[in-house]
Structures are given as C-alpha cells and as structure tokens.
Amino acid sequence: MWNKIKSEDKCPHCKDAQRYLDSKGYKYRLTNAKMQRGRKELDAIGARSLPVLKIGDQIMIGWNPKNFERMYNAK
C-alpha cells in the first residue's frame, strides 16, 4: 500500500512526517504542494494546512503519529 503525502520543503511538520514514515519503512509518494498538481489536489479537498496524508481512502490533515498509525491500521 502506498501512502501519499502533500508537503512543502520548508514545512517542519512535513519533514517530521517524512522522517517518521522513513524510519518505519512505510512506502509513500511525495507531492510538492507548491507545484500545480499538488495545489489542485489540496484545493479539491479543501486543505489549508500541511502535511496532508492520504491513507487508503482516508485523508489526514496535519501530522500526528498516533493518528497516522490508527488510520493506517484501520485500512
């Protein structure tokens, strides 16, 4: 299962999420929120903060490792 992350280079919470996923060996696809495709996807779901993670068909806005694990294990 591939997770998706929308992030920006200067976003500290985005970096935290990436480090966490890397340390746990989770696979994910990273999309830069400043690029056109990333911006369109964020606008489509109404997200106004980062990171945005898509786990299966669920969306998580912001970063919280416990919430991520709960969503990931529920898929």
Q: Which pLDDT belongs to residue 5?
A: 80
The CATH code of the domain that includes 17 is: 3.40.30.10
Average per-residue pLDDT for the chain: 89
Q: Which pLDDT belongs to residue 2?
A: 56
Give me the residues paired with residue 54 across strands.
4, 59
Q: Read off the pLDDT of residues 31-66 as tens digits, 9 standing for 90 and up.
A: 888 888 778 888 888 888 999 999 988 999 999 999
Q: What percent of the chain has pLDDT over 70?
A: 97
Domain enclosing residue 40, as ranges: 3-74
Report d(CA 75, CA 58) in Å as an integer: 8
What is the tally of structural domains in the chain? 1
Q: Which pLDDT belongs to residue 38?
A: 77
Segment among 12-16, 22-26, 28-32, 64-68 with least mean pLDDT: 28-32
